[in-house]
Amino acid sequence: MATRVVLTHGTASATLAPRLTLADEVVKFVRTKPLGAAGAAIILGMLAVAASAHALAPYDPYRADYGLQFARPSLEHWFGTDEFGRDVLSRIMYGARIALFVGFTASFAGCTIGALLGVTSAYLGGKVDLLLERLMDVLLAFPQLILALAIASILGPAVQNVVIAIAIPIIPRAARVVRSAALSVKENVYVEAVHALGASRPRVMLQHIMPNVMAPYIIIVTAQLGSAILAEAALSYLGLGAAEPTPSWGLMLSGSALSYAEKAPWMPIFPGLAISLGVFGFNLFGDSLRDALDPKLRGR
């Protein structure tokens, strides 16, 4: 006598496609996206250096020694010294803290505000959508770095002002991406059902729409991290970011380094390589993460 086996939808899904653990997902990502794994390794390395700079740095990044001005790279000073006799390697290690702090803070702040505006615009629609979209158009009319430069010029040179100046141009880009995803989520039956049950609009947006647009949100955050680090370096280079003697990669590339480029080429070369490596790592990881999270690209 045949035995009937009744499977619920959830049981059948679990039987046919068992859910991968976090470790399995990481192993799969490393195997299928080796370039993304390389980018993640660069990012983890930067985070480790920034967190352990006080232990890893061979010298005090603020201590000047005029007897060691423009010392060439050697076993004592691997990356040489600058015009004040400060160790370039130590300053690069401490500079990673500012680069990562500004990059992560500006990206998360800009993308989070943009995501909330995008969901609000998509869900409410009508005049709210029209008003918010025209505001986003105004912000998008300016190149990202030019708008950040204008805001930083108004606020003045300071690290917290740099975060604000970089975060604001990110808002419209994140809002547009999340809005397009929220428009499709809004039409799902479960959203209409929750709304029919009497859930308030804020609850529908925050508990039922926002969790379903997290994939594009994560993608835009990782995509903007490299741009934020580059923008911080550019603003510091122009004197609108961190001020001397704070170790900042962009500040290390500013006037004095260029003035002594022929006499001490290691002064601009090593900070420039640090900026390039950081942006390269975030771009590699961001592109691979987009491919992994985007359903249209998963099979590629």
Q: What residues does each domain of the chain span?
A: 25-54+96-293
Task: Rounding to the nearest 10 degrees, give the CA dihedral for residues 54, 55, 57, 62.
Answer: 30
Helix axes 159-186, 88-124, angle to 10 degrees: 30
What's the DSSP call for residue 73? S
Q: What pTM, to 2 d.p., does this model score?
A: 0.82
- What confidence category does residue 150 fall into, taking pLDDT thresholds of 50, 70 and 90? very high
- Is residue 106 scored above 80 in pLDDT? yes
Q: What pLDDT does residue 132 have?
A: 92
- What confidence category does residue 295 fall into, taking pLDDT thresholds of 50, 70 and 90? low
Q: CATH number for the 25-54+96-293 domain, one of 1.10.10.10, 1.10.3720.10, 3.40.50.300, 3.40.190.10?
A: 1.10.3720.10
Do 26 and 63 meet the contact criterion of CB atoms below 8 Å apart? no
Q: Which residue has the tokens 């741009």?
A: 227
The CA-based angle 166-103-47, given to 5 degrees, is 170
* Type and span of the H or E element at 90: helix 88-124
Residue 136 burial (C-beta neighbours within 10 Å; 0-12, 13-18, 19+): buried
Do 278 and 226 meet the contact criterion of CB atoms below 8 Å apart? yes
Q: Give 14-41 pLDDT, tens digit per residue.
A: 444 556 676 777 788 888 888 888 999 9
What's the DSSP call for residue 209? I
CA distance 75 to 79: 9
Q: Give 219-265 pLDDT, tens digit per residue.
A: 899 889 989 999 998 888 888 887 778 888 888 887 666 677 777 88
CA distance 57 to 113: 36
